[in-house]
Structure 1
Amino acid sequence: MFDMENTTVLDRPMLDELVPSRYALKIGEIDVLVISDGVLPLPTTMLAHNAEPAVREAWLNDMYLPKDAFDWALNVMVARSGGRTILIDAGLGLDPDLQLPRAGQLMKRLEAAGVNLGSVTDLVLTHMHMDHIGGLLVDGVKRQLRPDLQIHVSAAEVEFWRSPDFSRTAMPPGFPDALRATANHFMEEYGSHLRTFESSHEVAPGVVVRRTGGHTPGHSVVRLASGGEGLTFAGDAVFAVGFEQPNWHNGFEHDPEEAARVRIDLLRELAESGEMLVATHLPFPSVCRVAAEGEVFRWVPVFWDY
């Protein structure tokens, strides 16, 4: 169990933050901690490059968001089940060339939450974009990890990054090169730790990772299930705009039409089951449920439980 009574270190200013950066809950017997890796400022066109600018701007206005750029949340999750501690995604890291000082906060926030990197037995990667693997490339992180750490990622994802195709994406300049370089660096450092799967794999009791494709060819989601309760960590399958506009194409999607199909199927599945959803880029702590309203969906945030 995460000891939430003794996780804040108040005598170290770098860990004493006014903004909440972690949220704990239980899914049956599985302990869950959602941790914020910070925020990533990106152009709003990245939300929907296939939408008419006026329509996209109207949605942003309805959401009280700026029309040009806004901060995307970066969420990571830790789960404990069956004696294993599973980190789901690893955040952006701290690449000084990116000039993103409000992102890459995961490692200090894991420490503040009392999660020792040496206790992590498994890492699940939803995909290998740099904001999901970069935390492992921060100086000093690798030597804190267990030598027998298992990193679970779909075989299709590993194969894609051997020679990635960005022809159907719509990213800002520089991003394809940065994504490619980070993935190559990650493979050099952690290739021997990879445990690939084809379609699905049970990482620990009640913790199953399933390949969906779409956002990237090997993109996966992670479902936690215990005691009749369930929660899905959706990675980048769902963005804030994807509830009302599930067919809008995100600029990072490698197969936009397939990504939309995956998103709609996942949201329908969650609306029918009533199970909870967490996603990388939904506002922290992201924990919500999904309601279906005709051909679109409604995002229903959970009430915080203290």
Structure 2
Amino acid sequence: MDRMIRNTQQETTMNLDTVARSVRSKPDELVPSRYALKIGDIDVMVISDGVLPLPSKMLAHNADPAVRAAWLDDMFLPPDAFDWALNVVVVRSGAQTILIDAGLGLDPDLHLPRAGQLVKRLEAAGIDLASVTDVVLTHMHMDHVGGLLVEGVKDRLRPDLRIHVAAAEVKFWEAPDFSRVSMPPGFPDALRATAKRFANEYHNQLRTFEDEHEVAPGVVVRRTGGHTPGHSVVRVASGGDRLTFAGDLVFTVGFEHPDWHNGFEHDPEEAARVRIELLRELAANRELLVATHMPFPSVGHVAVAGDAFRWVPAFWDY
């Protein structure tokens, strides 16, 4: 598989072929924010939307606090709060440029200056918003749709933009149920408001599907449920290579403890069941995994480790 990231002193043009050769960064960008690879004939780029600081309890509100604390200590993570990665993916298949999820956006009331970086990082990568033909949403939590609500973004998007999302997800947010989540105060209200605003502003662009839909040749979105009723994953397949973007089904802790419940899961038991099923599938077929909240660039494989799993990060290829 040919992954391409090369230094260049030339301006990039607005396509992934040249973007994949560029690692130009602004002086204030001290961390890598994009990683390009090839899945057969399909270009894939993982882009960091920044990081989201959240309480460590959000990892596993059903776990024994002492066991959770021991896991955090073993992982050299702070005991009270840590940074959750925010990753999105840009895919080019044939004539289509597909944005998978849209990041958090820029809400000044959230006071999250290190998140909501997607728009400027797309620009830094040479990807023009007007070149995006399709958006696929794994679900409608605000850290997946907020980038489309940034002031001025809608005006820069194509008028014929297609936004693919499961019909069950749109239906859920008409009257969302937060009775089984374990979120910090204020989050349910913020999630409700953002989902409602998104549905209102982009109603005409929505293209809903029931269970599975081919967005472009080799790019298929499939509803899994669990995290939210319409949560979906996206599989990219070409030339014998495969990669699955798992959205919020998989978190770092979910390999060793796939039965631990994340605080943002609206149906924790179903989310755990779907997570285990997906991890078993990925371990068996050895395809690549990318997920929203895995440490950037979150490209790697899944291995079976007894009754649980093991994360095997891919070696960076320059």
Which TM bucket (shorter chain)?
over 0.9
Cα distance in 2 for partners of 1:33, 1:228 equals 18
Matched, 1:180 2:195: no
Deviation at 1:9, TM superposition (A): 5.4
Q: Aligned residue for 2:11?
A: none
Q: Does the Cα contact within 8 Å between 2:20 and 2:36 map onto a contact in 1?
A: no
Q: After the TM superposition, which residues 57-136 of structure 1 pair with which residues of structure 2 at under 5 Å, given as runs?
A: 57-136=69-148
Instruction: Report what 1:203 is aligned to.
Output: 215
**Separation of aligned partners in 2, 1:272 and 1:241:** 20
How many residues are paired up? Answer: 303
* 1:238-265 deviations in Å (ceiling 9; x for gaps): 0000000000000000000000001000
Ranges in structure 1 where 5+ consecutive residues have no aligned partner: none
Q: Which of 218, 225, 228 matches 1:213?
A: 225
Matched, 1:267 2:279: yes
| Paired position in structure 1 for 2:17 | 2
Query: Which secondary structure state, in structure 2, belongs to the residue aligned with residue 178 of structure 1?
Result: helix
Q: Which amino acid aligns with 2:240?
A: G
Q: Which runs of 4+ in 1 moved over 6 A?
A: none
Q: How far apart, in 1, do the equivalents of 2:233 and 2:17 lie? A: 23
Paired amino acid for 1:262: V
Residue identity in the other structure for 1:168:
R
Q: Is the 8 A contact 1:32 1:80 kept in 2?
A: yes
* Cα pair 2:226 2:268 within 8 Å, conserved: yes
Q: Deviations over 1:50-95 (max 9, x none)?
A: 0000000000000000010000000000000021000000000000
Aligned-residue offset at 1:295? 1.3
Deviations 1:140-193 (A, max 9, x none): 100000000000000000000000000000000000000000001101110110
Which residue identity is paired with 1:165? D
**TM-score normalized with structure 1 length:** 0.97
For normalisation by structure 2, the TM-score amounts to 0.94
| Rounded Cα–Cα distance in structure 2 between residues aligned with 1:31 and 1:282 | 21
Partner Cα distance (1:173, 1:261) in 2:
27
Q: 2:110 & 2:30 partners in 1: Cα distance?
A: 25
* Equivalent in the alignment of 2:149: 137
Q: Give 2:127's aligned amino acid.
A: V
Amino acid at match of 2:147: G
Query: How large is the RMSD of aligned CA atoms in angstroms?
Result: 1.1
Post-superposition CA distance 1:204-225 (Å, at most 9, x none): 0000000000000000000000
SS at match of 1:80: strand
Shift of 1:21: 0.2
Partner of 1:240: 252
The residue matched to 1:3 in structure 2 has which SS? helix
SS at match of 1:2: helix
* Equivalent position SS for 2:19: coil
CA distance in 2, matches of 1:5, 1:209: 24
CA contact (8 A) 2:226 2:269 kept: yes
- Mapped partners of 1:6, 1:250: distance in 2: 37
Q: Distance in 1 between matches of 2:127 and 2:57?
A: 36
Name the CA distance, whole Å, in 1 between partners of 2:226 and 2:70.
Answer: 27
Q: Secondary structure at the match of 1:32?
A: strand
1:300 — aligned with what? 312
Is 2:44 the partner of 1:29? no
CA distance in 2 between counterparts of 1:39 and 1:51 reads 24
Paired residue type of 2:91: A
Question: Helix, strand or coil for the counterpart of 1:54?
Answer: helix
Partner in structure 2 of residue 258 of structure 1 = 270
Find out whether 1:52 has 2:57 as its counterpart.
Answer: no
Q: Aligned letter for 1:54?
A: A
Give the 3 Å change call, closer, same or farther, for CA 275–9 of structure 1 in structure 2.
Answer: closer
1:112-161: CA deviations, max 9, x gaps? Answer: 00110000000000000000000000011000000000000000000000
- Separation in structure 2 between the aligned mates of residue 81 and residue 265 of structure 1, nearest angstrom: 28
Distance 2:141 2:18 in 1: 31
CA distance 1:5–1:234, change in 2 (3 Å): closer
> Residues of 2 paired with 1:61 and 1:88: CA distance?
33
Measured in 2, the distance between the counterparts of 1:187 and 1:29 equals: 34
Shift of 1:97: 0.1
1:153 matched residue in structure 2: 165
Gaps of 5+ in 2: 1-15
Residues 7, 112 of structure 1: 8 Å contact kept: no
Q: Does the 8 Å CA contact 1:156/1:218 hold for their aligned counterparts?
A: yes
